[in-house]
Structure 1
Amino acid sequence: MNFANISAGPGATQIIQVKAEDLQPSFFKTSNYLSYKNINPERVPGTCVWFLDHPTFLKWRNSSGDDLLWLSADPGCGKSVLSRALVDEKLLGTESVTICHFFFKDNDEQNNATAALCALLHQLFCTHDDLLQKHIVSSVKKCEHALKNDFEELWQVFTSAATDQAAGDVICVLDALDECRQSDRDKLITYLERFYRRSVDKSNRGSKLKFLVTSRPYNEIERGFSRLTRNIPTVRLAGEDESEKISQEIAIVIEAKVRDIAEKRKLKDNVRLSLQKRLCEIPNRTYLWLHLTLDEVEKARGKTGKKLLDVINKPPRTVEEAYEKILGRCEEEDARKLLQIIVAAQRPLTLSEIDVALEIGLESTCYRDLDLEGDGDRKEWIRESCGLFVSIVDSRVFLIHQTAREFLVRKNNETSEPQRWKHSVDLQKARRMLSEICIIHLLFREFQEYRVPADSGEPYFLGRTSAVREYAEKHAFLDYSANYWITHVQEAHIDSPTWVSKTTRLCDIGDGSSCAWFSIYSMSTYFRHRYSDQPRQSVLYWAAVFGLTYETRNLLNNGLASNEQLGSFGNALQAAAENTDRGKELVALFVERRGDEVKITEKVVQAAAGNEDSGKEVMALLLEQRGNTLDRRRDC
């Protein structure tokens, strides 16, 4: 039985029929969710007891029906370490319980609700593969590959499969909900709240689906859960009210970590005990603060009690002071460029991607121009440049904690002078820098000569897809720059003629079939363009499709007509009217710059009507323009 018609991409000559029996759980493997869990350290034995023994947690864990628990706690108090322990050590129930998890992170890969639901589905179907065809076939037939980005449909599939009696008991851990982007977070909270309220009224079906959500105690999250917490107080466990117990557990960690350091450095017992005593005397401790402070002890010179105590007798009073101290030892120029790239990146970059990005300069024209270090040496370079502030897990580069990003990035409209490091990164400038790196990279000579034939032994689309992926893997940073240069250009608001001319060149892709970056971009989940033997299109058309306002303005100013080769998806104006992110801005440019030359066809109006985000505003502009045109004709 066939269940889906999968679009074959640019220039494709056939539609691929996918058989239901070929569908695998890997369909939902859209992120490296396991790595984000494993970024967090394992708990020290004897810790997290404040939570595991808490009556609210025990009541939630032992309840016989569907249930929800929201754990809130301040930054650096060990929420994510706890979440990892709950998953890895299976502390949420018996061996038969299926535990699924997702750790949100403030980047494009891990900050959205659809990625979370895909990860939960991947884990659920890997454990219960018999449920896959039963619960997914109709949804994939309806949505095709767009299912991976359809929150409502994913939620329906997940709750249907997870509440199937064959799934048994299912528990989902959603960590750091505060790092989910706000629109998705609000939607997820709404659906969680709705799920819980409905489950209260249902009879016990013999199995249960439970959610455990952790976050910072933000007001907007509290408001989202307010209907539940107001009527059912046990839905929330406020870790910020358990600071004394958490502090006691931090003392256990101090003892264990100081013992480890003493063994590594062969410290005498009296020195070890002195260090332990001094650290326990410091008030307002958090796990993150302790981690940063102990790093100072490990790197300190000398082994005597006096020398080591000197290190912590003036310890950083806050995490921010610890960050300043760590970065104060760094090579500033190298560290700043690296940190700007990490902060601006839409997803964590790999070592090889960081290597290329750091070496690209204004004069770079090909890979041979780059003085690449290689993964091993670049890893050492990063450690020397930024110390503990940056961590590397599975060859991917991260800031040590979400608070590290908040420490670095200058807030909007902030008037105070930044310290040497605190709030020293202007996000707009960082985005501009990374956008320029991406643009230069995509204009490399290697990519201008790109040709990828399909494997003659495979169907056209499958052969082309595998060839494109292989090509991207051979060219470090290409997957990133191809998928994100448009986002960076939009965010950076680059309007200088030099750079607009470069980005306009990147829009000159014809039908896209022989363009390296577009071949990669069109396979990603970020692009939903409708293709079927698409003819060659104008540069203006593609600028409008990609939502590039400065490039569109430049092309219109240079006298290019909007009604060039139309194709099945319409002309450039139609593409502008259909653009969900910047439709109003783009159509306004056509109206302002070309006036009477703009032909408002039925297809253009239909495109605007189908624009769910800015369609009303686009329609208003079009109707106003049509009215002005008719008035001028009457005057004549």
Structure 2
Amino acid sequence: MEPEGHISFGNQGSNSGFQIGKNTGNIHRIFESPILSTIKLALKSSRGGLLRDAYRWILEDEAFKQWRYHGGNPSLWIRGDPGKGKTMLLCGIIDELTRSTGNCANVAFFFCQENDPRTNQATAVLRGLLYSLIKNQETLLSHVQTNYDHAGKDLFQDINAFNALSRIFTNILSDPGLRDTYFVIDALDECVIDLYRLLHFINRASSSHTQAKWIISSRNWPEIEERLGTQPLISSIRLELNPEHITEAVHMFIQERVARLSEAKRYSEKVRDEVHQHLMANSQGTFLWVALVCDELLRTSSWNARKRMAMFPPGLDKLYQRMISQISDSDDAELCTQILAVTLTAYRPLTLAELLSYISMPGDYSWDQEFISRIIDSCGSFLTVQNDSVTFVHQSAKDFLNRELPRILGSSLPAEHSRMFRQSLEIMSSCLRRDIFSLRLPGTSIETVKIPTPNPLATAEYACLYWVDHYQASSYYLD
């Protein structure tokens, strides 16, 4: 829950800006704060929930204990392949650090997500960490206030933002009143804008301010290893080198998920045991595979569970391929393919209303959000709906579809951008009009505008912001 007086950092694009809540006088609200806790909860939910038995092994890992207790390197890098539970590990570490330190230390965290411009750029990472840090220790607010009073809101926007936030961050790290502080960043590989600048900043901060500790996660990318793996003050835990811990954690996760499935679907003891054995035999130490299969079984009647279960091959790519085949053979194949293509091509997660405006729905269901939610459930567990927005259940699902798009659609990515560009123009042409909020007063400050219900821009907001991006991405195709 947000405190009454809070700090809000926007990001580039539609959410650029900065806000400090009550007790700050002259700095007014510009845009909403990053919903870090909500993102964390959504990640837990979309990936099967947080099970302490599945992450507690890392709390006893020697590299982690050296980092946490014994004056080891100030930075710890947790690295591993997709689906190995990195995000769940960091969620568990955040919870454990918060619980064990109470009000004696700061725990600031950020989760990168490639398909969301609010969370996929280095500037957003620094903003989010600062927001989380100052929310914990409000006396640090003066460092932000001083810079903001000097330069105004332009300080936190466009090309100046990263440098400005870096300076503020450095000043805070040098503050003698700073409590013990832990910074946690998940999925650095999903920071697609200015990743190298962020890595350079982390390296510099780790070496210059060793009283603050950093823990970060990413895939085993050579580009990241070049900048982190050779640093003397960064230790690493490679999940593939801890197969016994990962296997045991996945088995605990399977036990928990099967128990929930058995209760929800009222499995007989025989069916429950067969599901449990199949998951144990085929999971290959991958949490995500287990979660995806269990989600499919949750949508399957108990008497068809065995038959359905036999259709799930081991390995993420094989499972994704099987899901695509099932979609292709279904009655909703055309509609599901449209939804997957639009979600893949979009520059940020679309709301249900926005998604509806980009696909061709059956006539009787053209604006039925409940119907579209059911169709999304039919998209082979590639997608999930969080806070009314459609997003990929995991980055590996998006990566797979990126590779398979030409075969699935019979068209290229530029062709899809061209289609979305043209559709965006149609959406804006049919929706936009002068004084769309009926303000009747030219020059009204945006800060005083109350969005009407229903919002006449609900279906067109994405098109208004991103039509030109789709045009640029499809320009040579259009030629």
TM-score computed with the length of structure 1 as normaliser: 0.63
Residues in 2 aligned to 1:295 and 1:344: alpha-carbon distance in whole angstroms: 25
Deviation at 1:39, TM superposition (A): 2.8
Q: Does 1:324 align with 2:321?
A: yes
Residues in 1 aligned to 2:157 and 2:94: alpha-carbon distance in whole angstroms: 24
Instruction: Report the residue type matching 2:182 in the other structure.
Output: I
Of 446-455 and 117-126, deviating more is: 446-455
From 138, 146, 150, give the equivalent of 1:129: 138
Deviation at 1:392, TM superposition (A): 0.6
From 62, 65, 73, give the equivalent of 1:58: 65
Instruction: Assess, with a 3 A threshold, how the Cα gap between structure 1 residues 473 and 141 changes in structure 2: closer, same or farther.
Output: farther
Q: Does 1:253 align with 2:253?
A: yes
Tell me what 2:16 maps to: none
Instruction: Report the residue type matching 2:339 in the other structure.
Output: L
CA offset digits 1:458-498 (Å, max 9, x no partner) = xx8662454496599432133211111111111111675xx
- Indicate the structure whose relative CO is greater, using CA pairs within 8 Å and at least 6 residues apart: 2
Instruction: Report the residue type matching 1:218 in the other structure.
Output: W
Instruction: Assess, with a 3 A threshold, how the Cα gap between structure 1 residues 380 and 116 changes in structure 2: closer, same or farther.
Output: same
Aligned residue for 1:227, secondary structure, equals: coil
Instruction: Assess, with a 3 A threshold, how the Cα gap between structure 1 residues 53 and 29 changes in structure 2: closer, same or farther.
Output: farther
Deviation at 1:410, TM superposition (A): 3.3
CA contact (8 A) 2:155 2:164 kept: no
Instruction: Report the residue type matching 2:58 in the other structure.
Output: F
From 406, 412, 415, give the equivalent of 1:426: 412
TM-score computed with the length of structure 2 as normaliser: 0.83
Tell me what 2:359 maps to: 358
What residue ranges of structure 2 are gaps of 5+ in the alignment?
A: 1-22
Instruction: Assess, with a 3 A threshold, how the Cα gap between structure 1 residues 400 and 28 changes in structure 2: closer, same or farther.
Output: same
From 166, 180, 191, give the equivalent of 2:191: 180
Aligned residue for 1:74, secondary structure, equals: coil
Deviation at 1:106, TM superposition (A): 1.1
From 159, 167, 173, give the equivalent of 2:170: 159
Aligned residue for 1:211, secondary structure, equals: strand
Deviation at 1:72, TM superposition (A): 0.5
Instruction: Assess, with a 3 A threshold, how the Cα gap between structure 1 residues 399 and 473 changes in structure 2: closer, same or farther.
Output: same
Deviation at 1:135, TM superposition (A): 3.4
Of 167-176 and 209-218, deviating more is: 167-176
Instruction: Assess, with a 3 A threshold, how the Cα gap between structure 1 residues 157 and 299 changes in structure 2: closer, same or farther.
Output: same
Residues in 2 aligned to 1:283 and 1:326: alpha-carbon distance in whole angstroms: 16
CA contact (8 A) 1:51 1:57 kept: yes
Structure of greater Rg = 1
Residues in 2 aligned to 1:145 and 1:284: alpha-carbon distance in whole angstroms: 50
Residues in 1 aligned to 2:144 and 2:447: alpha-carbon distance in whole angstroms: 28
Tell me what 2:468 maps to: 486
Residues in 2 aligned to 1:300 and 1:241: alpha-carbon distance in whole angstroms: 36
Deviation at 1:389, TM superposition (A): 1.6
CA contact (8 A) 1:352 1:374 kept: no
Q: CA RMSD in A?
A: 3.2
Residues in 2 aligned to 1:148 and 1:63: alpha-carbon distance in whole angstroms: 40
Deviation at 1:323, TM superposition (A): 1.9
Residues in 1 aligned to 2:269 and 2:365: alpha-carbon distance in whole angstroms: 48
Aligned residue for 1:81, secondary structure, equals: helix
Deviation at 1:350, TM superposition (A): 1.2
From 139, 142, 145, give the equivalent of 2:154: 145
Instruction: Assess, with a 3 A threshold, how the Cα gap between structure 1 residues 420 and 348 changes in structure 2: closer, same or farther.
Output: closer
CA offset digits 1:120-146 (Å, max 9, x no partner) = 222223333332234332245225334
Tell me what 2:392 maps to: 399
Residues in 1 aligned to 2:324 and 2:477: alpha-carbon distance in whole angstroms: 33
Instruction: Assess, with a 3 A threshold, how the Cα gap between structure 1 residues 370 and 428 changes in structure 2: closer, same or farther.
Output: farther
Residues in 2 aligned to 1:117 and 1:80: alpha-carbon distance in whole angstroms: 19
Aligned-pair identity in percent equals 22
Instruction: Assess, with a 3 A threshold, how the Cα gap between structure 1 residues 462 and 58 changes in structure 2: closer, same or farther.
Output: farther
Tell me what 1:80 maps to: 87
Tell me what 2:270 maps to: 270
CA contact (8 A) 1:28 1:122 kept: no
Instruction: Assess, with a 3 A threshold, how the Cα gap between structure 1 residues 342 and 420 changes in structure 2: closer, same or farther.
Output: closer
Alignment size in residue pairs: 445
Deviation at 1:225, TM superposition (A): 1.3
Residues in 2 aligned to 1:281 and 1:269: alpha-carbon distance in whole angstroms: 18
From 216, 219, 222, give the equivalent of 2:225: 222
CA contact (8 A) 1:408 1:425 kept: no
Q: Does 1:69 align with 2:76?
A: yes
Residues in 2 aligned to 1:314 and 1:371: alpha-carbon distance in whole angstroms: 31
